[in-house]
Amino acid sequence: MPSSPPPRQEVQISSTAASDTRNSEDLIIYCCVCYLPASSAGSDRAINSARGKSNGYPTFWLASCGHIVCSSHVFPNGVPLEAASKTYTCPYCKNDGISLAGVGAGEVPVDLRDYFRPESELLEDVAGAIKFRTNNLIRIAKHYKKLSETLTTKVEDQRRVLLKVKDELIRGKELKGSVLIRQALHN
Ligand SMILES: [Zn+2]
Ligand SMILES: [Zn+2]
């Protein structure tokens, strides 16, 4: 029997998910073979000891085929050391070469966390992500709008300067013309 838990990075399911929604969680996390709810793994030590499981070990496993199974069917003689690093046959769908990740007792591997989080929490995350992206879009749109307004003002200013130069040139031409006429009259 192993004496320490497997070296897996695990995360606590939020306290709400682990207590208040225990009943609804049991409808999601249960053994596909015997339908035992995963919540019993951590809370009911009697079941664990009756099945010969050592406490502190995940007695429920998520297989890479997507099925959750309890230790009784994969490890009838107890959970081996480094159980998660080997491959097995799924006791439910009989697929070969599947890998297992410990679940249950309020703990799931970090990369599988979303599979076990309440829908409300997942939606909150999605809403947060959409808000973040929308805010960033609005910010850059405002930036380009301001830039465009600044450029428009600059172009208008330059056009005004050019019109002024044009007027001056015309006036200069007219002046030159009248001077020439006056000279011709004097001669
Ligand atoms: Zn089972
Ligand atoms: Zn399976």
Res 102: pLDDT: 85
Within 38-116, residue ranges assigned H as helices are 39-43, 45-50, 71-74
CATH code matching the domain that covers 26-42+56-116, chosen among 1.10.1740, 1.10.260, 3.30.40, 1.10.150: 3.30.40
Q: How far is the CA of 38 from the centre of ligand 1 (A)?
A: 9
Q: How far is the CA of 37 from the centre of ligand 1 (A)?
A: 9
Res 110: pLDDT: 81
Say which ligand is closest to the CA of 31: 1
Which has the closest alpha carbon to 100: 115, 111, 116, 89?
89
Res 81: pLDDT: 82
Cβ neighbours for 86, distance < 8 A, ≥ 6 positions apart:
80, 99
Residue extents of the structural domains in the chain: 26-42+56-116, 118-186
